Structure 1
Amino acid sequence: MTSVARVTRVAHALPVTDPGSPTPAPAEVAPSTTPPSALIRTFPSVNPSADDVPQPSTTSGTAPDPGGSGAPAAEPRRPRAKAGARERRRQETRERIVDAAAELFAERGFDAVSVMEIARRAGVVEKTVFNHFPVKEGLVFDADPPMRAALLDAVRRRPAGESVSAAAGSFVVSVVGLLGSPEAADGVARMAKVIRGSRTLLVREREILGEITDALAALIADETDARSGQLEPWLAAHAVLGLYASLLELARDRVLAGVTGEPLAAELRRRGQRGLSLLQFGLAGYAKRR
């Protein structure tokens, strides 16, 4: 059975965008080898260990002497490898905790599961769970979701002449469109049930959306030198995140109703493009009273 934790990352994280998307996701945060279904979960990523950091190389196999004495530099310390192994064990423990929590949440709901039960199923003590996740909601939502950094980067990297709403809106549409993939369907459905079944998670999700909105508004305000209290940055940011939240809820509704694959992907693209048009061209002609 596919773990809920492995297939719920698109909510507030970073899936790979379509190749033809006008605002491609940054390659460094969306590795092409990772399937969309594995990019939906939202827990914080562990900092890379020292073993993962590229080290300078030389033709002689030794680092140059910065003092110019000609003597070879000292060999790297052995404890670095131990630190790397320790970090890998830490990550493995973290993954076990997330998997155990996801299984229990799917079985009985977020609010009915205790941290002690999660620890017992993961084979660790309760303190270990809290060392990795200081709050229980962290097992479902990342405190600083990759979605925020990716969205802001899409805005910063937009070409000259492209508006914030076009760049951010296109990114949002491409993100949510991946929820229509068959690989994501099972996890999206399970996570929708978990989130919607818990008032605590619903509140936290709204907080996350608010935090991303604030970050986008701050970026727009900084870029446009907006005066304090100026409404335009906040209106633009709320519109973009409103589109995101609406498409996310639509995807959850459809998946829970059994609609997946290309029919869902096509509907999300169609609704997303409609919403994107409203963002770019305004609401003046929408819902006029007759």
Structure 2
Amino acid sequence: MAETTGRRERKKAQTRQALTDAAVRLFTERGYDAVGVREVAEAADVSLSTLFKHFPGKEALVFDLDEDLESALVAAVRDRAPGRSVLHALRDHLVDTRTAVRTDDPTHVLVESTPALRDYARRMWSRHEQALAAALAEATGLAADDLAVTGLARFALEAPDLARRTGDDPARALRELFALLEHGWKDTPLADPAPAAGSPAPGRTG
């Protein structure tokens, strides 16, 4: 029975990979909007109904690791080393997994050049917020809807995208964002703080 189950799972994985490979190739060659799901199914040598058993829609064909990404995100919190803070565990996991994207990777190039796929990727990644919040609640003893839990979950999911837009070193940028969260905002010496209510404006003595 175990052997049969293992063979079935391998076959399922092979079919999904064949569909993803065919989709990326066709979308890259002809453009995302010019290719239909039936053409992808034919290129992968499967029926259209088989395609929809594995993927809910056209955009999903390019993203085959959604469940794995969520599991790894949750595991980073639940399986962190004893004494290691949740914040540091999340930071290091995201630095390792979300900032090392090869800009010449065909899938990355396709997603970045296709607005529909960029939007889908963002929505897909954001869907992990609930699972991450649940893991953070379990780790901290707080309620799943506590602002500290939901705020950290949202921050952790949004920060990698922001870090990747800042320049050539997204890993450093992501660490800086987490440091800002950990240590709090501090105005620079050059900042001009607004006077407290009732205080004279700068340059006035009374």
Normalised to the residue count of structure 2, the TM-score between the two structures is 0.75
Matched, 1:186 2:138: no
The count of corresponding residues between Structure 1 and Structure 2 is 192
Which of 149, 172, 176 matches 1:274?
176
- Kept in 2, the 8 Å contact 1:240–1:279? The answer is no
Pairwise CA distance, 1:114: 0.1
Instruction: Report the CA distance shift for 1:273/1:287 in structure 2 as closer, same or farther (over 3 A).
Output: farther
Pairwise CA distance, 1:130: 1.9
Query: 1: CA distance between counterparts of 2:41 and 2:13?
Result: 15
Instruction: Report the CA distance shift for 1:219/1:86 in structure 2 as closer, same or farther (over 3 A).
Output: closer
Counterpart of 1:50?
Answer: 2
Pairwise CA distance, 1:271: 2.1
Which of 41, 50, 73 matches 1:151?
73
Instruction: Report the CA distance shift for 1:119/1:142 in structure 2 as closer, same or farther (over 3 A).
Output: closer
User: Any stretches of 5+ residues in structure 1 without a counterpart?
Assistant: 1-48, 52-79, 255-263
Normalised to the residue count of structure 1, the TM-score between the two structures is 0.56
Instruction: Report the CA distance shift for 1:171/1:228 in structure 2 as closer, same or farther (over 3 A).
Output: closer
Query: 1: CA distance between counterparts of 2:72 and 2:19?
Result: 26
Query: 1: CA distance between counterparts of 2:6 and 2:86?
Result: 41
Pairwise CA distance, 1:273: 2.5
Pairwise CA distance, 1:90: 4.5
Counterpart of 2:148?
Answer: 232
For 1:62-211, what aligned pairs fall within 5 Å after superposition? 80=4, 88-142=10-64, 144-179=66-101, 184-187=102-105, 190-211=106-127
Counterpart of 2:136?
Answer: 220
Pairwise CA distance, 1:233: 0.8
Q: CA RMSD in A?
A: 3.0
* Equivalent AA in structure 2 for residue 175 of structure 1: T
* Equivalent AA in structure 1 for residue 171 of structure 2: R
Residue deviations 1:6-46, cap 9 Å, x none? xxxxxxxxxxxxxxxxxxxxxxxxxxxxxxxxxxxxxxxxx
- Kept in 1, the 8 Å contact 2:134–2:144? The answer is no
Instruction: Report the CA distance shift for 1:236/1:85 in structure 2 as closer, same or farther (over 3 A).
Output: closer
- Kept in 1, the 8 Å contact 2:111–2:118? The answer is yes
Which of 246, 268, 274 matches 2:162?
246
Query: 2: CA distance between counterparts of 1:216 and 1:113?
Result: 35
Q: Percent identity?
A: 32
Pairwise CA distance, 1:101: 0.8
Instruction: Report the CA distance shift for 1:232/1:286 in structure 2 as closer, same or farther (over 3 A).
Output: farther
- Kept in 1, the 8 Å contact 2:26–2:35? The answer is yes
- Kept in 1, the 8 Å contact 2:90–2:156? The answer is yes
The structure showing larger relative contact order (alpha-carbon pairs under 8 Å, at least 6 residues apart) is: 1
More helix by share: 2
